[in-house]
Structure formats: C-alpha cells, structure tokens
Structure 1
Amino acid sequence: MKLVSEILGRKYHLSYDVINCDDDFEGKYEQAKECILICLRRHGATSVKSPCESTIIFIYPNDKFDIEKLGEELKPHFFFSLCLVDKDQKSHHFEKVHRNLELNERLQKMWEDIKSTVKPN
C-alpha cells in the first residue's frame, strides 16, 4: 500500500559520489549513505528507494522542499545531481528503473532506523 505522500508528493532523483570517503567517512561508504539519509529525513523526506549504489529516489510530501538548502548541506562531502521527477497529465511519474532489490532492502532497513531517531525539521 502506498503512502498518501507517495501518491500526492513530489519525487526527486539524487545521484551522488563521495568527494573524500576516507577523510569524511573513515572510508566507509555506508556511513556516507547514512549521512545523506539523515539529511533527507531532516528535510522532511517521507520515503526513499535505491535502484543502484549511488542513487536515492525520495519523496517529499509537498512543494515546499528547499532544494538549495539540501544542496548546501551535501556540497562539502558529495558531488551530486538532484532533480525533480516530472509527472504526466495523469500524475504518473516519468521514469524507468531497473533496481537492485537487495540494495534497496538494505537501504529500507537503514531508512527505518533513521526515521525512528531523526525527526524532520
């Protein structure tokens, strides 16, 4: 069952590379991904998916998402591309995804742990 925010919300595509994983995240790529998830949660994202290793698709519940503010938070540690996924006239998102299900399952576990401890601003 989809959340209301998934139906009515706005979907964003974030692709990223860590600038310096060794210095910023002790060489732990999962720690870098967790950092991004915490930022997304603080900014009010309601759900996330990961079709491939360095991409996160997330839902924001309305049109108040501050893309500039998130960009400033990510900029010191990541190179990234952050885009709104458009919808057609029937509100279907324009996207085609072939996802790694195991990767997404791990991301969902990490996201649930973060949601239980990090509250949106």
Structure 2
Amino acid sequence: MDTENIIKPAILKLFKEEKSEDEAYKEISKSHSIYDDSEKAVSKWFEEFNEAYGKYIMDLISNNPDLSVEKVARLVKCSASNIIDRIDKLSNSSENLIYVKKDKFKFTDEY
C-alpha cells in the first residue's frame, strides 16, 4: 500500500474538520513523519476531496435552490461561511449554479 492511501483517512478527517491544506500537512507530519512524500499526498487528497465536496454542495444547492445557507451547512456538516465561500467560487467559475438569494431578515408587522 502506498503512502497516499495509508494516510488518506487521516487527511479526510482533517479535511472534514475544515483544516487548511497547510494545517493538515503539519498535523500529518507530526503523526506520520516516516512518510517523506506526505506533503504531496496531502495536496493530492485535498484537491480530490475539494472537487468531490464542491460538486456535492453544488448539486445539493442546484436541486434545492430554496434551502438557506444555514440549512445547506447543517446538511453537509460544515460552517455557513464554508458554503458561502464555495458559492462565491462557483459563481466566479464557469459552472452554473442555481440558487435563490434570500434576505436574512424578514420584516413583518407581526409580533
């Protein structure tokens, strides 16, 4: 089994904790210092996780444009700011993303 597959579960755990690639590499280096090419492995897996995770979020939003950012964040178990960052990145790319911008507050006369 090669290095990339040996440390993949640890990298995935750090990715799910919303660690940056740099932070993940530092953590992996502490626990898996015997692997010389761990920086390459972290970079490779972060790229793959980001791509798959981004596609999952994009599909979720496109199929459910009425969901709020907070609801999407709860469904994918990450922070709302992470979802907003991904929407911004996707909006600036060539990908088509269908979503409804909602006002944060709803003003009514009801108490």
TM over 0.5: no
Higher strand content, 1 or 2: 1
Q: Is the helix fraction higher in 1 or 2?
A: 2
Which structure has more relative contact order (CA 8 Å, sep 6+)? It is 1
Question: TM-score, structure 2 length as denominator?
Answer: 0.30
